[in-house]
Amino acid sequence: MLPRLGEGGDRALRFTLSPTPLDALPEVTWVGLVRGPAGPLLFHSLFRTVPPNPVPGNVVLSTPLAGGPSSPVAIDHGMVPVSLRWDAAMRPDGRFAVVFEHALGATNAVFLRSPDDLPPLEPSEFLGRAPSPEAQARVNARLVQGAISPPRSFDSFTDPRFVRGADRSLAITAVVDGRQLALFSAVQSPSREPPPWRRVEVACVDGIVVANEGGTGLVYKTLASGRADEDEIVTGRLHYVRLQPDLRPAGPPVDVFPNLDVFGIDAAPLADGVAVLATTRTGLAAAVVSTGARGPLLLGLAEHPMEDRVTSPSILADASRVHVAAIASRRSPKARVITGTLEVTRTAP
């Protein structure tokens, strides 16, 4: 059950944020909020070497948002040792899957990795402390590798994400050559060939497909004049549009943050709307868009200034609240992961 915006009136948004303790904070590269079987989880990644592989990889771990020890979920080694983006979701069987942007050299691909049914590994087996050969065999055995994007393709696929709100994340999107989104099935075919993909017919440099009871829509970023941030995420303007079954726009778009440039973006479905989180030059920004019968309508937005540069925004709605997370001062001695909530209240009717 997801929060409901209801009809009529504007909405006031208020952030409540605090630092979240994690091991190896200066090394945390990306964060993501994921719905778990017992509540929200904070997924985070470290870019480091896991013996015996001498090439650094992207290691993804999960931590209960309420606090507790971290558990390893997946690791990906690209052909080029760089820290790239990923997204995670709980599968229909209750296990987790992580989709990685996989470096091939001249282009990037999309790889899906999932743990199998072996017992959980000790975190030390993923944290660079030399594991035993038996432990490393367990690491290798519990990962299922699958290329989602087509092999031998001249297209480059970046910024992979699970579709938000789809049948517990059985679909994946990625940006094709920085121009528009590709939509993939996350279900492995019997032939184990990469699944076919379709183009979302909206020009964009980044985007998130969101599904709720009102149908399917797209939160997407178009290029704006300005520079990229330190993570090479380009600045842009954010919009929302409903999608038809053929993945074409079902009407005119709504500007999510009018006259505001954004960098990183994320979105979460509400029962009758979409909650959006973005990083800006001065901090965080959030908005809610109604997708009900009168929609799409921008109902409210808020900015949260921060002294430090903020990256890797993540937003997740459950039955009780809207959760948010981000990294402040990424890859610096004062790096910290910020988590909290976004309160959405009705103002005038």
pLDDT of residue 231: 61
pLDDT of residue 267: 98
Domain assignments of the chain as residue spans, ordered by start: 11-346
- Give the model's confidence band at 1: pLDDT under 50 very low, under 70 low, under 90 confident, else very high: low
Q: Which of 8-22, 101-115, 265-279 has the lowest mean pLDDT?
A: 101-115
Residue 31: pLDDT over 90: yes
Give the residue among 292, 295, 302, 285 at the shortest CA–CA distance from 347: 302
| Mean pLDDT, residues 33-42 taken together | 92
pTM, rounded to two decimals: 0.87
pLDDT of residue 8: 62
Residue 65: pLDDT over 80: yes
pLDDT of residue 26: 86
- How many degrees, rounded to 5, is the angle at CA 235 between CA 3 and CA 42? 40
pLDDT of residue 118: 33
Cα-Cα-Cα-Cα torsion 249, 253, 257, 260, nearest 10 degrees, comes to: 90
Task: Provide the 10 A C-beta neighbour count for residue 87.
Answer: 26
pLDDT of residue 323: 97
pLDDT above 90 coverage of the chain, percent: 42
pLDDT, greater one: 241 or 9? 241
pLDDT of residue 44: 94
The tens digit of pLDDT for each residue in 81-110 reads 677 899 999 877 778 888 888 877 667 888
pLDDT of residue 129: 41
Give the residue among 106, 91, 80, 197 at the shortest CA–CA distance from 144: 91
Residue 242: pLDDT over 90: yes
Cα Rg of the chain, angstroms: 19
Q: What is the CATH number of domain 11-346?
A: 2.120.10.10
Could you give the CA distance from residue 104 to residue 275 in angstroms, rounded to a whole number? Answer: 34
| Mean pLDDT, residues 231-247 taken together | 87
pLDDT of residue 123: 40
pLDDT of residue 90: 86
- Give the model's confidence band at 274: pLDDT under 50 very low, under 70 low, under 90 confident, else very high: very high
Here the contacts of 246-249 (C-beta below 8 Å, separation 24 or greater) are 246/201, 247/183, 247/198, 247/199, 247/200, 247/201, 248/201, 248/202, 249/201, 249/202
| Mean pLDDT, residues 239-255 taken together | 93
The tens digit of pLDDT for each residue in 304-335 reads 999 999 999 999 999 889 999 999 998 888 99
The tens digit of pLDDT for each residue in 174-227 reads 999 889 999 987 665 545 565 678 899 999 999 999 998 878 999 999 988 766
Cβ contact 98:114 at 8 Å? yes
Residue 137: pLDDT over 80: no
Decide: helix, strand or coil at residue 15.
strand
Q: Which of 8-12, 160-164, 209-213 has the lowest mean pLDDT?
A: 8-12
- Give the model's confidence band at 121: pLDDT under 50 very low, under 70 low, under 90 confident, else very high: very low
pLDDT of residue 126: 39
Q: Which of 126-130, 292-296, 304-308 has the lowest mean pLDDT?
A: 126-130
Task: Provide the 10 A C-beta neighbour count for residue 88.
Answer: 24
